[in-house]
Amino acid sequence: MAATVFYLDEVPEPGAVAVLDGPEGRHAATVRRIRVGEPITLSDGRGVLAESEVVAAEKNRLDLAVRTRRVATPATPRVRVVQALPKSDRSELAVELMTEAGADVIVPWQAARCVANWEAKAAKGIEKWRAATKSAARQSRRAYIPEVTELHRTRDLLELVRAAKADGAIVAALHESGAHKFTELALAEAPEVVLIVGPEGGLDDTELAALAEAGADVVLLGPTVLRTSTAAAVALGAVGALTPRW
């Protein structure tokens, strides 16, 4: 079984002693009850992975001797998920699932039919999503913690779609009205895949038309209608199976 992953801002070179404190150290020492002699994988969340061994343990801190250090190769194609804001009880679940499924970038989107409204509290919502990505990345032992961007309005999203298409990305708006299947897209040939997931009430006709005009493919993900909190994870699984990511 692989060693548990914990995150440091900077991971030292082999031979050095790393200090894991703060929330990560408290979780490791108090919640996980990790003790001297146990192996831990350290990461900076930006690709660096280091194998280490606990040499001292306190209540809220671990000292770790770094044995080896390497940089993980990023998965390709890169996957960016544009997630319309789910209801509050499912918001962080959606982020956790897409992180575990391999999302590289997560874009919160204030779509027309979103029940949640971040207009007055965007900073707080983004902070929660970033904390959720870190926790889920640790759970799934990821070398890269997904980036969570600033809140996007629809006008921002349309600019994102145009720019992504100009760079050769596949942009897929997942919707039950799609005339073609998501799996029919040439996913393995693109440098990036952008997944657009609508809110509980679905994408409205104006949004769908604007996204299509900007270059997005409106596609059907599968035979059933998925919740907004699970659609991205299902799509990421399909991307993983149909491209070199897996």
User: For residues 49 and 60, what is the distance between their CA atoms, to the nearest angstrom?
Assistant: 22
Q: Encode pLDDT of 105-134 as tens digits.
A: 999 999 999 999 998 899 999 999 999 999
Global pTM? 0.94
Instruction: Tell me the residue ranges of DSSP E strands in 133-240.
Output: 147-148, 170-174, 180-181, 192-197, 217-220
In the block, tokens 């499912």 appear at 90
**Structural domains of the chain in order of their starting residue, each with its CATH number:** 5-71 (2.40.240.20), 78-242 (3.40.1280.10)
Instruction: Write down the pLDDT at residue 77.
Output: 98
What is the number of other CB atoms lying within 10 angstroms of the CB of residue 188? Answer: 14
Tokens encoding 225: 């209608």
Confidence of residue 225 (pLDDT cuts 50, 70, 90): confident
Q: Encode pLDDT of 155-207 as tens digits.
A: 999 999 999 999 999 999 999 999 899 999 999 999 999 999 999 888 999 99
